[in-house]
Chains A and B, each alone.
Chain A
Amino acid sequence: MNSISSAKANRLFLLLNVVLAIAYFICIAFFFPIGNPVLFGLLIGCEVFHLLQALGYVHTVWPRKHSKEFETSFSEPVAVYITVTGEPADIVEATVRGALSMEYPAFNVYILNDGYVANRENWQEAEEVALKYGITCITRTTPGGAKAGNINNALSKTTEPFVVVFDADHIPKSHFLWSLMGYFVDKRVGFVQSPQFYKNQDQNLVTAGSWEQQELFFGAILKGKDAINSAFMCGTNMAVRRKALEQVGGMSEFSIAEDFLTSLLIHQKKWKSVYVDAVLAEGLAPEDFLSYYKQQFRWARGSLEVVFKYNPLFRKGLTTNQRIQYLSSASFYLSGVVVLINALLPLVYFYSGLQPLTISTMTLALFFLPYIFIVLYTVQLTSGFSYTFRALSFSISSFPIHLQAIWQIITRKKSGFVVTSKRAIKGNHSYLVTPHIVYIVLVILGVIVGSLREGLNASILSNAAWSLVYVFTFIPFIMAAFQKFTPDSNEEIALKPVTKEVIND
C-alpha cells in the first residue's frame, strides 16, 4: 500500500481493534441486562480474558521501528548441538549432513545423544552416525533434566563460546550460521532464534494444521516480540551465547518448556534477544494426532507452569514489555477454559433456559459482529494474510489439551518431557476428540430439548447458530483425528532437498 503504508494500516486497525474490544466489553459488563448471575460472571471472566489477549496481541504486533547491529564478519567458534533421543538414524543423518554443510569459519557439530538414558533400543545409531561423519557424539549415561539436561551435559563437555541447537529433524540451510551469528557482535545479545519450519506441512491434516498454527507465531508474533526485545527461544534453530546460558545455570531443567523458561531467566539478566524472520532450517511437524496432542500438551503445561510458578509480572529484571509478552504468551493456554465456557453457554440455554444476558439477540449482534470482523481482519492484516481457518480450528479445538494441562498444574501432577515423535505413531487416535463428538451430540439433543420447551424462537435459533459455529470449528480437528496415518510416508520427505521459503516477507 502506498497511501496508507502497511504500518499505518496496521496501526489503524489495531487501534480500531482496541476501541471495539473495550467498547464491546464495557457494553457486556455494564450496560446489558444481566440474566443468570453465575453465567454472567463466567461470561465476564471469559470476556476479560479475551480483552487481555486482544490487548496483548495488539501490544505484540504494534508496528515499531527497531534496528539491530549485525556484523557479517563475525566468526567466533560455535558448537552445533543436534539433540537426539532415539530418532531414526536417517533423520539424524540428514540433519548432520545439513549441519556439516553450513558455511562458517569455525564450528563443531555434536550429536547430543539421550537415547541411552531414554532407554531407546536404537540409542547406538546416533553414535554410528557420528562415527560415519567424523563428529563427536556425547551420549549421556546419567539421566535427568530431559532435553535441557542433555544440553547442559554437552555444555560441560564443550568449550565454544556460542552454541547452536537443532532438534534431530531440523536440517539447517548452509547460510544458517552466517544469518544468525552476526547479531552476537552486540555483546548484550544472549540468544538468536529463527523459525521452525515444517517441510512436511502438506503431508496430512495434522501436519498442515500444526504448521498453520505455527505460522502466525513465527510470523507476526515473534517479529513483534523481537521489536521489544521479548522474543524467546523455541528449543531448536537457535543460537545462544554460552555466557548468557551459564549465568542462568544452563538450560532450565525445572520445566518441560525449558526453552521458554530459560529465555525468561536470560532476559532477567538483561541479555537481549533477536528473532531472525527467515527460514534457515526445515523440520518435521508431528505426523499423527497423538504426537500433535502430546506436543501441544507439553507446550501448554510448560507455559502455564511459567504463569503459576515463575509469574513474569513479579520477576525482577524484566522490562514492562517483557513482562507483558511473557504473561500474554504463557497465559494463552488458559484459553481452553474460555473456549469450554463459551461453547457450553448455548448448551446451558438449551437444557435450562438460563442465559448470562437478557438483551435481544440483535442488540448483541450489533455490538459483536463489527468487533469480531475487525478482530479477524486485523489478525489477517498483521499476519500477512497467513492465518487460516484450520489454524483457528486447531487452536480452539485444543481446549481439552489446555484443560488437561491446567488440571495437572492444579493437582501438581508431574509430567515428563516427551520428545515429539518424528514418525507417525500407528493406531486410532480418534478417542482424543471424544469431547468434541460428545459436544456435537449434546447440541443436537439440546436443540430438540430447547425447541420442545419454547419452540423455535429467536433465542433457540441464535443459540443453535452459536453452537453450530463451534461444531463447524471443531470439524477440521475431528477430521485430523480420524485421518489414517501412513508411518513410512515421511522417509522421502525427511531426506528431500530443502526448497520452500514461507516465513520470509
Chain B
Amino acid sequence: MIDVTALPPAPTRGRKKKSFKILLLLLGFMLFATLVDVFVFARTSLQLDESQSLFQVSRNIPGLLNLVAQDVHVPGYHLLLHFWILLFGSDITTARYLSIIFFVATIPVVYLLGKNVFSRRVGLFAALLIAISPFMLWYGAVARMYSMLALVTVVHQLFFVKIYKTGKPIYWIGYFFMTIIGLYTHYFFSFVLLTEAIFYIFYRKRFPPHSFVKFLISLLIAFATFAPWLLYVYRLGLASNDQPYLTIPSSGDLFDAYAQFLFGFQTNGINTFIVSLWPILVLAAFFTLQRKKRTTPASIFLIFMAVLPVLGAFVISLLVKPFFLSRYLIISLPSLILIFAWVISIYPIKIQRIIQAAVVAGTLILLMIEIINPNSPIKEDYKDAVAYVSSQATAQDVIVATAPFTIYPIEYYYQGPAALTTQPIWNRFVSGSVPAYNPKTVVAQTNENVLNYQHAWLILSYDQGYNTKLKNYYDSRFQLLEHKQFSPGLVVYEYKISYNKPLSIP
C-alpha cells in the first residue's frame, strides 16, 4: 500500500497557472532590464575603470594576470572577459554585454532567494526592484566585475540558505564552487563569507548535523584554491600600484551608499533631499510593529548581509585604510532590496499596495533622472570630451590627461593627430606605481611641451589630490582659451602654451 498522504501533492492547475504567471513576470522584468541596459546604459561613454578592464584583458593570460595583480582586483572576471572579447569582439559595447548577462541573471535568483527566505510575493517584488534599480542597471552595463559579483553573491546566499534549510548535498556542492568563484570575482566577496560565518555562529544549531565540518572543509579547500593568487600577488609585491586615491568615509558616505543602492546616482541636490529624510526610516520601523510578524533566522541572515559588509567596510576604512566604495559593496544590495520588500510586506495590505506603487514609481522616476541628467555624478563622458578635443586639436597640439590613468579612456576614443601624454608622465608598460605629483617635474615636463607644441588640451578628471594645483599652475603661466565640462569632474581646458612656430615635421 502506498501512503498517499506521504506523497507530495500533485501540482494543481491553479498552482501551475500561478507559476506560469510568475515566470512571465520574471521574464518581463528581465526583458525590461535587458532593454534599458542594451539601449541606454551600454551606449554611454567608456569609463575609466572599463578602459582599464579592456586594457588588461587585451593582453595574453600571463600579461593579464600581471596587470590585474597590480590592480586591486582578482582575475576571475577579467579571464572571462578576455575570452568573451576574443569570441565576440573587443569594443566596449560588446564587453558590456557580458555584464548585462550577469545582471539579468541576478533577477530570477533574487526571486528564488526571496521565495526561500520570505515568500513568493516578497521575492517577486524584490526581483522587480532589482530590475528597475538605477544602481544595478548602471553597473549591469559596466564592463567591470560588479554585476558578476552581485550574481555570485546572490547564488552563494541561495545555496547558504538552502543548506540551512535542507542540508542537501547538491547545495553543499553549489556552495563550494560558488565560494571559489566568488573569491576570484572580488576581494569584497570575503565580506559575504564573514557575514555567513557570523550568522552561523549565532544559529549553528539550526543547521543540519555536521555542517560545521562541511563548512570548514569547503572553505579550507576554497581558500587553498585561492591561495596561489594571493601568493602571486604577494610575490609581485605590486598590489597597491594602481590603487585609486580614496578619502576616509564620513557618516554621509555611509548613508550615501545606501541611498545609491536604493535610488541610484543622483545629483547633490536630489541626494541631499533623499538622505535628509532619514527620520522617515524611524516611521518605517514603527510600521513594522505588527502582531505576530516574527523575524525568522533566514531573514536575520539577509539583514546581516545588508548591514554588516557595509558597516565592516566603513569601520575598516576609518580605522585601517580607506576603501569604502558603494560599487564594491554591491554584495549588500540584493539583501537590502529583499529586506526592503519584506518590510513593506509586513504592513497592512492597503498601506502595502500604496507604498509598493510609490516605491516603483519613485524608482522609475529616479532612473529616468539618472539616465537623462548629464550631471549625474556617476557619469564619465570621455566620449564627448575626446570628440570635442578631436574636432579642434591639431598635430601642433598636445593633449595632457590628469590623473595619469585617465589616459586609458582618452586613448580609446582619440584617433587624432595631436600628441597624447599625462601629467605626471606615466609609463604604463613598465611595472611600477603612478608617479606622485611633483611640481618641479611638472614644470620640466611642461617646458618640454612648450618647446614642441602650440596648444595644450588639459583633460582633468579623477582628481587624485592635485588636479587643482596643476590647473592653477597652467592658469598662472598660460592663456586659457576655452574650457568645457562634459560630466561631473571631467573638464577640458585649452591653453595657448607657445607663440613660437613649432618645428616642422619632415
Contact = CB atoms under 8 A, between A and B. Distances in A.
Interface string A438-482: 000000000000000000111101101110110011000000000
B286 A473 contact: yes
Given A368-B282, A369-B281, A369-B282, 17 more contacts: A3-B205, A3-B206, A360-B251, A369-B278, A376-B288, A379-B289, A387-B289, A388-B290, A388-B291, A458-B272, A458-B275, A462-B277, A462-B279, A465-B276, A465-B279, A465-B280, A472-B283
B278 A462 contact: yes
Interface in B161-203: 202-203
A386 B282 CA distance: 19
A70 interface: no
Contact of A2 (B205, B278, B287, B295): B205
Contact of B202 (A4, A365, A372): A4
B222 interface: no
Given A366-B251, A385-B291, A458 B276 contact: yes
Contacts of A106: none
Contact of A365 (B272, B278, B290, B293): B278
Contact of A3 (B203, B280, B281, B294): B203
Contacts of A377: 295
A392 interface: yes
Given A1-B206, A360-B251, A360-B252, A389 B282 contact: no
B155 to A, nearest CB: 25
A479 B203 CA distance: 42
Q: Which 5 A-B pairs have the closest CB atoms?
A: A3-B205, A461-B276, A465-B279, A366-B251, A458-B276
Interface of A: 1-4, 212, 360-363, 365-366, 368-369, 372-373, 376-377, 379-380, 385-389, 391-392, 456-459, 461-462, 464-466, 468-469, 472-473
B288 to A, nearest CB: 7
Given A385-B293, A387-B289, A388-B290, A362 B250 contact: yes
B210 interface: no
Given A369-B278, A388-B290, A468-B279, A461 B273 contact: yes
B254 interface: yes
B217 to A, nearest CB: 21
Contact of B283 (A3, A379, A468): A468
B10 interface: no
A469 B276 CA distance: 14
Given A4-B202, A456-B273, A469 B254 contact: no
B278 A389 contact: no
B83 interface: no
A376 B285 contact: yes
B360 to A, nearest CB: 21
A3 B286 contact: no
B354 to A, nearest CB: 13
B55 interface: no
B297 interface: yes
A2 B203 CA distance: 8
Nearest to A373: B285
Contacts of A469: 279-280, 282-283, 286
Contact of A362 (B275, B283, B297): B275
Given A4-B203, A386-B292, A362 B282 contact: no
A14 B54 CA distance: 52
Given A365-B251, A386-B292, A465 B206 contact: no
A436 to B, nearest CB: 16
Contacts of A379: 289
B251 A372 contact: no
B204 interface: yes
B278 A376 contact: no
Contacts of A458: 272, 275-276
Contact of B279 (A212, A386, A389, A466): A466
Nearest to B348: A389
Nearest to B293: A385
B20 interface: no
Nearest to B256: A362
A370 to B, nearest CB: 9
B223 interface: no
Interface string B248-277: 001110110000000000000000110111
Nearest to B286: A389
A501 to B, nearest CB: 14
Contacts of A1: 203, 206, 297
Contacts of A466: 279
Contacts of A465: 276-280
Given A3-B204, A362-B275, A376 B280 contact: no
Contacts of B285: 372-373, 376
A457 B285 CA distance: 24
Nearest to A359: B251
A140 B487 CA distance: 87
Contacts of B203: 1, 3-4
Contacts of B288: 376, 389
Nearest to B203: A3
A4 B290 CA distance: 23
